[in-house]
Structure 1
Amino acid sequence: MSDSDSAETPADEPTDPSVADRARDVLSENGTGMVQDLLFAFAWVGLASLLYDFGFPTAPRWVLYMFMLAGIPAYFGFFISLEMARERSRR
Structure 2
Amino acid sequence: MTDADHIDEPDADESLADRVRSHVRGNRTGMIQDLAFAVAWVTLASLLYDFAFAGAPQWVLYMFMLAGIPAYFGFFISLEIAKEQR
TM-score, normalised by the number of residues in structure 2: 0.84
| Paired residue type of 2:76 | F
2:13 corresponds in structure 1 to: 16
Question: Shift of the alpha carbon at 1:70?
Answer: 0.2
Larger Rg: 1
Unaligned runs of 5+ in 1: 1-13
1:5-84 mapped onto 2 (5 Å cutoff): 15-84=12-81
Question: Shift of the alpha carbon at 1:60?
Answer: 0.3
Question: What is the distance in 1 between the residues matched to 2:57 and 2:69?
Answer: 21
Question: What is the distance in 2 between the residues matched to 1:41 and 1:74?
Answer: 10
| Paired residue type of 1:19 | L
Q: Report the count of equivalent residues.
A: 76
Query: Quick one: higher RCO (CA 8 Å, sep 6+), 1 or 2?
Result: 2
Question: What is the distance in 2 between the residues matched to 1:29 and 1:23?
Answer: 10
Unaligned runs of 5+ in 2: 1-10
TM-score, normalised by the number of residues in structure 1: 0.80
| Runs of 4+ displaced beyond 4 Å | none
Question: Shift of the alpha carbon at 1:16?
Answer: 2.4
What RMSD over aligned residues (CA atoms) do the two structures have, in Å? 1.0
Cα-to-partner distance string for 1:36-89 (whole Å, 9 max, x where unaligned): 001100000000000000010000000000000000000000000000000001
| Paired residue type of 1:37 | D
